[in-house]
Amino acid sequence: MNFDLTEEQISIRDAAKDFAENEIAPSAVERDLTAEFPHEIVKKLGELGFMGMMVSHEWGGAGMDTISYVLAIEEISKVDASVGVIMSVNNSLVCFGIEKWGSDFQKEKYLKPLASGNLLGAFCLSEPEAGSDATHQSTEAVLDGDHYVINGMKNWITNGVQCDVYFLQAMTDKSKGYKGISTFIIDKNTPGLEIGKKEDKMGIRSSDTCTLGLNNVRVPVENLLGEEGIGFKIAMETLNGGRIGVAAQALGIAQASLEASVKYSKVRKAFDSTISELQSIQFKLAEMSTDIESARLMIYSAALNKDNKKSYVKEASMAKLLASQAAVSCALEAIQIHGGYGYVREYLVERFLRDSKITQIYEGTSEIQKLVIAREILRS
């Protein structure tokens, strides 16, 4: 496996790093406090091609590979993991799904503006009674002439308040279980959609998360993605790629925690030297760095398989499992290295811990990743 980055990948990483440091970092602390959505930043990300990175040029995307995508998400999440998830949901869930299963009409109407950052997408699978157990959908879509009438409730929707388009799963035939689930593209201004309260979250506070009620929402048949009954397959396959994005987001948080710890340990003095001279601190840095590099290699492996059109189900779940563990443990260790300063808002590391935890929960909990990995191993 060759993980040498190409010149193009390096230039994309550098562009993302530059944008993150100059355009995102200055407002990151304030937005964490106010939980304000980064409208201007998302607009500029669209102009740079970062909202539809892997979408082909034909449909208004940047036509980049998954490794480039991972590099960009890592750089952006190092500075602000909220922006990382806004970008990742639009790229790997919504754009990917529409490009893979959408009709030309859907690609023209939705994918082009989503890929160029003119529209923002949200992914709606989870329900109050269907989180990890995602086959258990209650939201129902009933055909009525040339429209589907959709009723139900979705929750934990990233971008749910600020988006323009919902990518939503609903049951078209309850008797068929998960083979009766279908996917719809729904315009936000459709009557009957009720955006619930914005969640007051522990971390990734400037990305918005909400519930979505659907009360007799009429969706034209041309907004059904693919055909009836393949919605669960669409959800699972988009989530495989989404898990690579979340893993890259987690990697960014872990890397930021390490870099902050190295910097602090070289200036903080104790016992007549900087604390970087102490073996107790060195061991922590060594373990953090080892966890990060393991996660990075696993993420690249999943991304490379995806780009080479090989199966990446197991690798994506392994990457998310490892990287999210690394994010939480590196953020915790970063706080420990900073001592009392790590526990207060004056330093960034307490935010890294708050932002890290969700990476073990959304787009499939760590327990679900283990289940997916085990099933893939047992199947082979």
Distance (Å, whole) CA 237 – CA 97: 8
The answer to whether the CB of 282 falls within 8 A of the CB of 262 is no
Q: Are 283 and 107 in contact (CB under 8 A)?
A: no
Size of the site for ligand CAA (CB under 6 A): 23
Active-site residue, 363 included: yes
Please name which of 135, 229, 150 lies closest in space to residue 185, comparing C-alpha atoms: 150
Name the pairing type of β-strands 121-124 and 165-171.
Answer: parallel
- Estimate to the nearest angstrom the gap between the alpha carbon of 286 and the chain centroid: 28
Q: Which of 66, 158, 183, 356 binds ligand CAA (CB under 6 A)?
A: 158
Instruction: Please state the separation of Cα 102 from the chain's center in Å.
Output: 21
> In this chain, which of 66, 240, 359, 360 binds ligand CAA, going by CB under 6 A?
240
Of 184-192, 229-237, 267-275, 347-355, the window that binds ligand CAA (rule: CB under 6 A) is: 229-237
Report the residue from 153, 239, 292, 328 that binds ligand CAA according to the rule CB under 6 A.
Answer: 239
We find the least distance from the C-beta atom of residue 379 to ligand CAA, in angstroms, to be 9
**Mask: binding to ligand CAA, 340-379, rule CB under 6 A, as x and -?**
----------------------xxx---x--xx-------
Q: Which of 29, 44, 164, 178 binds ligand CAA (CB under 6 A)?
A: 178
Judged by CB under 6 A, the residue of 156, 166, 312, 352 near ligand CAA is 156
Task: Return the range that interacts with ligand CAA (CB under 6 A); candidates 4-12, 59-67, 153-161, 212-220.
Answer: 153-161
E strands, the chain, in order:
121-124, 140-144, 147-158, 165-171, 181-187, 193-198, 209-220, 224-225, 269-270, 273-274
Say which residue the tokens 């944008």 belong to: 19
Is residue 236 close enough to count as binding ligand CAA by CB under 6 A?
yes
Residue 159 tokens read as 């971008």
Contact string 11-50 vs ligand CAA (x = CB under 6 A): ----------------------------------------
Q: What is the 3-state secondary structure (H, E, C) of 233-268?
A: HHHHHHHHHHHHHHHHHHHHHHHHHHHHHHHHHHHC
27 φ, ψ (degrees, to nearest 5): -110, 0
Stretch that binds ligand CAA, among 95-103, 123-131, 217-225, 270-278 (CB under 6 A): 123-131
Contacting positions for ligand CAA (CB under 6 A): 89, 123, 125-126, 132, 134-135, 156-158, 178, 232, 236-237, 239-240, 313, 362-364, 368, 371-372
* Residues acting as catalytic residues: 363
